[in-house]
Structure 1
Amino acid sequence: MEFKDRLRARMTDLEMTATDLSSRIGVSKSSITFWRNGTNRATGSNLMELAKALKCNPEWLETGKGAKEPNAIPSNGRRAESNASILGYIAPWDDETPLEDDEVAIPLLKDVRVAAGSGEISEEFFTGKKIRMGKYTLKNRGVSPENAVCVTVSGNSMEPALPDGSTVGMDRAQTAIKDGKVYVIKHDGELRVKQAYRRPGGGIRLRSFNQAEHQDEEYTIEQMAEKDIWVVGKVFWSSVLWD
């Protein structure tokens, strides 16, 4: 039994049409048709949304393994307490792999590193490689694809949440500071990622997660103008590789 067979069977069980699934998942009807015909299969956030709409486990839908029903009780009669949820499966791809219907390519400014600490001078933003990201992920965070940019974090000031080498996605449309949120800040020609707080009179306070080694920095509105400090965008996503 293949993916397409499990998909068809589940649609039959729930009396769902391709139009029903298309509207619930937010993909084109032709994508549903391709999945049903076996031309390709749902992956990533599409798979998650498809399994949710079909009220089944994504692992079963993708591979046929595991319980079909999401709340099935194991054979020992006891259900373990869950403290995690599956957001998506990792699928291999390269720069030549076509984007899925639910994906967009977000510019990765690989050669412009966000400074989490002392900072690195950046002459200008320029696009290097790109990060594949689900449209649902962006929509869920209220981010328009044209405003999304990914950059690389350097330094240890945002550890442990964002260690050196992390990748963050920022929304360039969100520049109004909400206290405690994380932003990419332009500072004297350097890019920095920090928690930001508003100060009375229009100033700014920049805070690191690693406060043991990096103290808060405060700037008045006059100092912000003098040092060319401004918010580039709000961080809405991050990716970390563990050592």
Structure 2
Amino acid sequence: MKKKNTSGPRFKALLKVANITTTGFAEFLGTAPQNVHNWYTRGVPDHCMEAVARKLSVNSEWLKYFEGPKDARHLRLVDETGSTFDAQAIRGVYTVIEPTDVELPFYKEVPVGPGSNKTHVIVDPSQPLRLPRSHLDSLEINHADAICAHMIGNSMAEKIADGSTVAIDRGLTQIVDGEIYAIEHDGMLRIKYLHRTPGNGLRLRSHNSAEYLDESFRAAQIEEQNIRVLGWVFWCSTLNKRRPPVPFL
């Protein structure tokens, strides 16, 4: 009976312990980030197993089947030419350089089921965003707390344009009056200025206040309407939707 490749969870755990992002390891290995992400659930493919095991300094049998010693120092490895090396002698050669960017998972609002008008906010692993590690460190943001999402609609124009990508710190959910936060409102993903009101109430304010009036919620309404703060918006990017024509051409 053929043994099952169960390397996915161990591979993912190794990267987490080493604080290596999916994109960072993909670049080091010379493959696409989506391939590495798929390995978390499908397992490292056979044709990459030895290379991945060497770069992470683990026994490929342990990585693939959870058998034998974890450490590669007990192995003798064979290179492409057929030459045999003691694994311990080459440890340290395959060092994953700490990436300068942090990969933020992307969250979006989607229907809870086919044809449903009810939505919820979920992670979309197909389109992560990368930001410089220094940006997060300067704001004392835990890298694991950072996520991203799209701004939907013009309620925050001219501050944040429709379609912009925003970065969110889930570690800061305590409301500081007048700061911009991402919230989930009964399954809707919304970006607003937040203000506390007496009695544990909440006021939502749009930057485009000419078109969008303030919304106020009492504590009971916050619970009834499933309003929860996802985190503080600390970064946004805006892509100009129109390329200006160049005159006199």
Question: Of 156, 159, 172, which aligns to 2:157?
Answer: 159
Q: TM-score, normalised by structure 1?
A: 0.54
The one of 95, 113, 120 equivalent to 1:123 is 120
Native 8 Å contact 1:112 1:151 kept in 2: no
Count of residue correspondences = 143
Match of 1:172 in 2: 170
Helix, strand or coil at the partner of 1:225? helix
The match for 2:146 among 145, 148, 168 is: 148
Q: Identify which range, 123-132 or 156-165, moves more after superposition.
A: 123-132
Letter aligned with residue 181 of structure 1: E
Q: Is the 8 A contact 1:121 1:191 kept in 2?
A: no
Greater CA radius of gyration, 1 or 2? Answer: 2
Alignment of 1:31-110 (within 5 A): 101-109=99-107
Alpha-carbon separation, structure 2, partners of 1:197 and 1:161: 17
Separation in 1, partners of 2:155, 2:218: 22
Runs of 4+ more than 3 Å apart: none
**How far has the Cα of 1:95 moved from its partner?**
5.0
What is the SS of the residue equivalent to 1:214? Answer: coil
Q: What is the correspondence of 1:163-242 to structure 2 with a 5 Å cutoff?
A: 163-242=161-240
Any idea what SS the aligned residue of 1:156 has?
Answer: coil
* Structure 2 alignment gaps of length 5 or more: 1-31, 35-95, 111-116, 242-249
SS of alignment partner, residue 142 of structure 1: coil
The 1:220/1:132 distance shift into structure 2, 3 A limit, reads same
1:135 aligns with 2:97: no
Give the alignment's Cα RMSD to 1 decimal. Answer: 2.3
What is the CA–CA distance in structure 1 between the aligned matches of 2:172 and 2:118, rounded to whole Å? Answer: 23
% identical equivalent positions: 37
8 Å CA contact 1:182, 1:193 repeated in 2: yes
CA distance in 2 between counterparts of 1:231 and 1:156 reads 20
TM-score w.r.t. the length of structure 2 is 0.53
Unaligned regions of 5+ residues in structure 1, if any?
Answer: 1-93, 114-119
Looking at structure 2, the residues matched to 105 and 136 of structure 1 have their Cα atoms a distance apart, in angstroms, of 13
Which protein, 1 or 2, shows the higher relative CO under an 8 Å CA cutoff with sep ≥ 6?
Answer: 1
1:116-153 residue CA offsets vs partner (Å, 9 max, x unmatched) = xxxx9533412331111111100111211100000001
In 2, Cα distance between equivalents of 1:156 and 1:133: 24
